[in-house]
Chains A and B, each alone.
Chain A
Amino acid sequence: MRTLGMAVTLVAGGVALGIAGWRSSADGAQAGATISGTIKFTGTRPVMAKIDMSDEPVCKGKYQTAPTKEDVVVNANGTLDNVFVYVKAGLPATYRAAAAPTPVVLDQDGCRYLPHVLGIMVGQSLQIKNSDGIAHNIKAKGVKNRPFNISQPTNMTTTRTFSAAEVMVGLECSVHGWMKSWVGVLPHTFFAVSGNSGTFAIKGLPPGTYTIEAWHERYGAQTATVTVAGTQTKTADFTFAAR
């Protein structure tokens, strides 16, 4: 009887704590400043080479038109896709963020990594999924993080975590040389990837002066310094020129 009572109290307490934690984290996400912007692209759009997937009918079948390489993807509105924007410096030394419990999913679909560029927190789990059902191997070429090289002969999911902040950890498949992905590992949640709209938004920043870096796999990195206070929203645009 007593044990039962104890169990009940424990469960109740746990639930209460959980809710409290969720509330607080939710608040953290809502409150604070926001830095948003657009990644512009100037110059002639480079032509991406076609990828010949005829070795892998499974993948070839997933495309109407022949897929191309993804080093540079320029959106219809003249903005640049696959740019990783993150807070490089400026957070208070006391700032600590627990790794988000939800895993980040990296899918291997049609012999391509989806997404091509992604951000993840230190200690947050990365679910590497093989939706093709053909053999892929995932080779992570980390410097601060221990490199790993695993293979997935068929449909399966492998979970990995990164132990140190590093921008960027390159992933590639040695069986299909064109398959490349970039993982930005950070100790905080203040990062974003410019999507097919070419824009980004970093929310929930505590007041302060930040160094923002925009990283692109071919055009390198650019930085900007932004000062925010309260809940205001500042813009920081970046422009990459064709090379």
Chain B
Amino acid sequence: MPWWLPVQASSYAPQIDGMFLAILIITGLAFFIVEGGLIWFIFKYRERPGRGGGRKAYYTHGNVKAEYVWTAFPAVVVVGLGLVSNHYWNEIKGRDSVPADAYPIKVHAKQFEWLFTYPGPDGQLGTDDDVAEVRNRLHVPLGRAIVLEQEAEDVIHSVFVPAFRLKQDAVPGMHIRSWFIATRLGEHELACAELCGMGHYKMRARVTVQPQAEFDAWLARAAQGEIE
């Protein structure tokens, strides 16, 4: 059974997985300290009626020095983690993190479908040459920054592409942008990650990453209504 994270198919997937690994190592250490310590204490200090019966526990109300240590140490670690996360957070989701030359694709989420609108030759959304409302098909060119202009028709949905490590809610009444750069050719899956009704689990779209040329060809066909 696979036991690690899915394939990395976007530019920031390695960074996110890196963070994950780092936190796993830190928390893993803490885990072994705590659980190991507990198990050790359980055996070492358990009450033994036989030998030294009536032995009393060591009478102490604590040790301020020790407490300073195990207060300060975690504090430093988590604040450090916080700063690192914040760095990547601003890179990936910050208001001005979207690359300037990003290729816009409109995502219209409704119960229980994804409707993608691609800009026509003019590269602008909202013009008449748009390839409008392609159902459950997200095609993106390889290695090019894509910005999803997300909107929701009825309830809250969430764009989730595990391979891209991308997740962003689509909220009715709000216009939310999220971006990524696909770095791996092939088919991926897009799921809705926010409970949106009885068909939530069926709200699935296919993501196809292809070279620019193939993408353009596909878009031209899609403009004629030939999605396949």
Contact assessment for B225 and A151 in the assembled complex, using a CB-CB cutoff below 8 Å: no
Residue of A nearest to B197 (CB): A174
Interface size counted on chain A using CB atoms at 8 A: 13
Contact partner of A52 among B110, B197, B227, CB < 8 A?
B227
Determine the chain B residues whose CB is within 8 A of the CB of A55 once the complex forms. 136, 204, 206
Chain A, residues 135-164, CB within 8 Å of chain B (1/0): the string is: 101000000000001010000000000000
Nearest Cβ in chain A — how far from B10, in angstroms? 23
Determine the chain B residues whose CB is within 8 A of the CB of A54 once the complex forms. 227-228
Contact assessment for A174 and B225 in the assembled complex, using a CB-CB cutoff below 8 Å: no
Q: Give the distance in Å from the alpha carbon of A52 to the alpha carbon of B226 in the complex.
A: 8
Determine the chain A residues whose CB is within 8 A of the CB of B137 once the complex forms. 52
Q: What is the number of contacts between chain A and chain B, taking CB atoms within 8 Å?
A: 36
Determine the chain B residues whose CB is within 8 A of the CB of A177 once the complex forms. 110, 113, 115, 135
Determine the chain A residues whose CB is within 8 A of the CB of B204 once the complex forms. 55
Nearest Cβ in chain B — how far from A128, in angstroms? 15
Contact partner of B225 among A49, A135, A137, CB < 8 A?
A49
Contact assessment for A137 and B199 in the assembled complex, using a CB-CB cutoff below 8 Å: yes
Q: Give the distance in Å from the alpha carbon of A174 to the alpha carbon of B111 in the complex.
A: 6
Q: Give the distance in Å from the alpha carbon of A217 to the alpha carbon of B111 in the complex.
A: 22
Residue of A nearest to B113 (CB): A177
Residue among A149, A151, A177 with the highest chain B CB neighbour number at 10 A: A177
Chain B, residues 188-203, CB within 8 Å of chain A (1/0): the string is: 0000000001110010
Contact assessment for A174 and B112 in the assembled complex, using a CB-CB cutoff below 8 Å: yes
Residue of B nearest to A151 (CB): B198
Contact assessment for B136 and A135 in the assembled complex, using a CB-CB cutoff below 8 Å: no
Q: Give the distance in Å from the alpha carbon of A151 to the alpha carbon of B203 in the complex.
A: 14
Determine the chain A residues whose CB is within 8 A of the CB of B136 once the complex forms. 55
Determine the chain A residues whose CB is within 8 A of the CB of B112 once the complex forms. 137, 174-175
Contact assessment for B198 and A137 in the assembled complex, using a CB-CB cutoff below 8 Å: yes
Contact partner of B113 among A50, A151, A175, CB < 8 A?
A175
Determine the chain A residues whose CB is within 8 A of the CB of B115 once the complex forms. 177
Residue of B nearest to A135 (CB): B202
Q: Give the distance in Å from the alpha carbon of A52 to the alpha carbon of B110 in the complex.
A: 17
Take A52-B135, A137-B199 as given contacts and tell me if A174 and B227 are in contact as well, using a CB distance cutoff of 8 Å.
no
Contact assessment for A175 and B199 in the assembled complex, using a CB-CB cutoff below 8 Å: yes
Residues on B facing A (Cβ under 8 Å)? 110-113, 115, 135-137, 197-199, 202, 204, 206, 225-228
Residues on A facing B (Cβ under 8 Å)? 49-50, 52, 54-55, 135, 137, 149, 151, 174-177
Sample 11 A-B pairs with CB under 8 A, ordered by A number. A50-B227, A55-B204, A135-B199, A137-B199, A151-B198, A151-B199, A174-B199, A175-B112, A175-B113, A175-B202, A176-B113
